[in-house]
Amino acid sequence: MNIFALLKVTKDLTNSEKAIVEFILKHPQQFLEMNTKQISQECYVSTSSIYRLCEKLNLSGLSELKVRISGSIESYLKENENIDFNFPIQQNQTHFEMMNNLKADYKQTIDSTFELFQLDQLKHAVNAMKKAKFIDIYTSAGNVPFALNFQFQMQEIGVIVNVPIDEYRQRLSASSSDKTHFAIIISFGGRGILSPILPAILNQNKTPILLISSTEYHPINTHIDYQLFMSSHEDHYHKISSYSTRLSLLYILDVLYTCYFELDYDYFLQKKLEYYQVIRENSEK
């Protein structure tokens, strides 16, 4: 995870620390050229707030923060080029222009999602998923097809994933869960029963939870064991379609599947090939 992504997802910041983060995200080049006193004056914060922020980012101080910013600024500025993720196409554009705009939208979405991965979170989540006897995915609306696709991928290697769709079955599944289950909650902003009802039930039953969400969503009064972030460029309501969010979620679920597969590569590959050999043989009869 690069420093800009880390700044976006770091929780429990004071208002002064948030002011510094906001300034860095808006004016990264200017920040690099400023000293401690200038940053304090520009952001209306104390110098101690700057160093507390560095401490929360696990950095030694302002110098290391600037080194990290300098190393990631080119990709950050490129990621934030003039693409309107909510309205990537405009009226009266040619088919070629629309195709090209969507390609740019998709490329920046993948790059952004890649930068948001915290490798330790990913590794621990995949290992916990591998140890679980049961895997359950809780989501809603347009995210359901992606959960079902993940379910299909896992079934191809002999791993059963439960995807309760209606609200009653989700409540029932969470209520009958325990520490042998692994729950994946997919929720961009924590709407509906996905927050806080289901996480509260899962917490009560000591079920490990992986939350896949936007960078802005950090549940309150709910214990989340692992969290992975979708690209969060799109507005939830004001847009043509969820081009970016859908692709970001697909990429995350594919990464989860691939990392899970790699944990027992030869076994899962053999399983998949055996299944399709049986299917092929019976199709030819």
Q: According to the model, what pLDDT value does residue 221 have? A: 76
Using alpha carbons, select from 175, 97, 184, 93 the residue that is nearest to residue 132: 184
Segments of the chain with pLDDT less than 50: none
Q: According to the model, what pLDDT value does residue 190 have? A: 82
Kindly list the structural domains of the chain, giving each domain's residue range(s) and its CATH number in brackets, ordered by start.
1-78 (1.10.10.10), 116-274 (3.40.50.10490)
CB of 157 within 8 A of CB of 268?
A: yes
| C-alpha–C-alpha distance, residues 191 and 169, integer Å | 17
Dump pLDDT digits (tens) for 215-271: 888 887 789 999 999 998 888 788 999 999 999 999 999 999 999 999 999 999 999
φ, ψ for residue 212, nearest 5 deg: -110, 115
Instruction: State whether residue 228 is helix, strand or coil.
Output: strand
pTM of the model: 0.83
CB of 172 within 8 A of CB of 136?
A: no
